[in-house]
Amino acid sequence: MEIKSFGKTDFDTMFKAFSRAFVDYEIQVNSVEFQKMLKRRGFNPDLSFAAFEGNEIVSFTLNGIGNFNGIPTAYDTGTGTLKEYRGKGLATKIFEYSIPYLKGAKIRQYLLEVLQHNTKAVSVYRNLGFETVREFNCFKQRNEDVNLEMKVNDTSYSVQQINIEKINALSDFWDFYPSWQNSFEAIQRAKDDFVSLGAFSEKELTGYCVFEPDSGDITQIAVDKQHRRKGVATLLLKEIIKLNRHDSIKVLNTDILQNSITDFLQTKSINILVKQFEMIKEI
């Protein structure tokens, strides 16, 4: 068995290994979604590594490279091991093998998210020195089951597509900093895959959202604190459902401590699917 980078590995081989490793995962992705996921998360094949047995990938870590909170960061885009090779410590060996290469690329921290109920993985990461930074909720619901009723229907608000690159201070609407895959940097990497919508009162932007119609993934949704509980987010959600090409919508990695987004989504019958830990280790 040999550990080496993905630098010379073709996409089909990588996707086959990913699919086999995550066959029992809650959310499945097809090859197109996988390709988009890699692009959005900043996948770097030369700084991603796998354990090969012959030509077969049996365990791997796909790393995204970028900045997080202004710090050069490696992000675990996906760590998986084929079922028959689990329990052999391969993920740990791959991670330890990667560290000198990441340091050589001036990476200063390693960031990941892990499902809270995957207690074995959580234990491995803690033993490697990772610390939990935040806890996240992940939501999902079929389009037809989303509750779009409005308690308040203020006709002064309208929704239209916007270019978020031309709008300043969107972060003023936030209650929490977006996770890696939901950041503006991630959106910029795959900007042609996203639709951005703004809710306006006359010419004032009162709320916005960014989502990916092919996957139904709502990457960001936020409303100015002065305009909350007036139906703005529901108006945005209605337009998302209209434009969505997927059979469901999902909202991943909302901060568990921020009740406003949790309460809003649950009021709309968009239910919690899983919970995750966001973990960081300095390297």
SS3 readout for the chain: CEEEECCCCCHHHHHHHHHHHCCCCCCCCCHHHHHHHHHHCCECHHHCEEEEECCEEEEEEEEEEEEECCEEEEEEEEEEECHHHCCCCHHHHHHHHHHHHHHHCCCCEEEEEEECCCHHHHHHHHHCCCEEEEEEEEEEEEHHHCCCCCCCCCCCEEEEECCHHHCCCHHHHCCCCCCHHHCHHHHHHCHHHCEEEEEEECCEEEEEEEEECCCCEEEEEEECHHHCCCCHHHHHHHHHHHHCCCCEEEEEEEECCCHHHHHHHHHCCCEEEEEEEEEEEEC
pLDDT over 90 at 29, yes or no:
no
pLDDT over 80 at 144, yes or no:
yes
Range with the lowest mean pLDDT among 47-51, 120-124, 258-262, 277-281? 120-124
Average pLDDT over residues 107-120: 95
- pLDDT recorded at residue 24: 80
Average pLDDT over residues 95-106: 97
User: In the chain, which residues fall in CATH 3.40.630.30?
Assistant: 2-107, 139-274
Average pLDDT over residues 221-240: 95
- pLDDT recorded at residue 166: 85
CA separation for the pair 75, 73 (Å, rounded): 6
For the domain covering 139-274, report its CATH number. 3.40.630.30
Average pLDDT over residues 197-226: 95
CA distances in angstroms from 14 to 1, 19, 59, 110, listed in the order given: 17, 9, 11, 22
Percentage of the chain beyond pLDDT 90 is 87
pLDDT band at 33 (very low <50, low <70, confident <90, very high): confident
pTM above 0.85, yes or no: yes
For the domain covering 2-107, report its CATH number. 3.40.630.30
Q: Which of 225, 219, 220 is nearest to 206 (CA)?
A: 225
Per-residue tokens: 170: 């969107």
